[in-house]
Amino acid sequence: MAPKSLRIEIRGRVALLTLNRPEALNALNSEMMDEVCDTVAKYGTDDKIGAFVLTGSEKAFAAGADIKEMQPQGYMDMYMSDFFNRWNELAALRKPVIAAVSGYALGGGCELAMMCDFIIAADTAKFGQPEITLGVIPGMGGSQRLTRAVGKAKAMDLCLTGRMMDAEEAERAGLVSRIVPAGELLETALAAAEKIAGFSLPATMMAKEAVNRSFEVTLEEGLRFERRLFHSLFATEDQKEGMSAFVEKRKAAFKHR
């Protein structure tokens, strides 16, 4: 069945996923979670896809989890269904994912963007964790990923006051990798994704794995892990091709093997 709240376009080796619930500013409900996670599961194992772009509308990347869906729930409902757990499938995706954020990225929207590997923001983007204004706290990783991205002071400020930060503040804080004019957001994100998808897929996957590992282990363990991955890439055809192409002064043609 075709997804209802997600548009999927395949552009060469890039899968472009557009959140599509404009009537609710892309509020993330269970249907959307299933559609996003089913889609990344499908293309995550497709050798023809080398990178993803996740985006929303001009007004909202996503204005948070769907408050109307959560409002009637009780503790047992949330606990027994392990509400939001499926979003971990996006965070665990092994291929690179870029979040292209325009407008609101609030609550679960900000958390969803942070599950991606990096965020390219339009100059209109606004980030925040306003859950405190609803009597709750972040529940899709905000207190953890935001703190790792921007440090304790700013994460506390955002989680405790519920205020929004604009794209410039988010870039200064390290949440966002680059800011572009709103009209150039999608082409910039797609160009970055196409560039990544043109490199060796095993190398981009291992680069992602190595950077992510730095959040979990000591420096010494991380360095050893990186070196082992680096060594292993010398078993790939793409290492032979990439280095030969440099020596022969030509463009590499990676086979993703």
Q: Scan for tokens 């948070």, then name that residue.
A: 64
Q: Does 238 bind ligand LXKY6Z5U (CB under 6 A)?
A: no
Least Å distance, CB 104 to ligand LXKY6Z5U, is: 4
Tell me whether residue 12 is one of the annotated catalytic residues. Answer: no
Q: How much of the chain is helix, strand and coil, in % rounded to 5? A: 50, 15, 30
Beta strands in the chain (DSSP E): 6-11, 14-19, 51-55, 60-62, 97-101, 104-106, 118-122, 126-128, 164-166, 178-180
Per CB under 6 A, contacts with ligand LXKY6Z5U among 165-184 are: none
Tell me whether residue 111 is one of the annotated catalytic residues. Answer: yes
Site track for ligand LXKY6Z5U across 128-147, x = CB under 6 A: --xx--x---xxx-x-----
Tell me whether residue 9 is one of the annotated catalytic residues. Answer: no
Cα→Cα distances 234→151, 172, 194, 237, 243, Å: 36, 37, 24, 8, 10
Segment contacting ligand LXKY6Z5U by CB under 6 A, of 65-73, 190-198, 200-208, 221-229: 65-73
Tell me whether residue 65 is one of the annotated catalytic residues. Answer: yes
- Cβ–Cβ < 8 Å for 141, 91: yes
- Give residues in contact with ligand LXKY6Z5U (CB under 6 A): 24-25, 27, 63-68, 104, 106-108, 111, 130-131, 134, 138-140, 142
State the catalytic residues. 65, 108, 111, 131
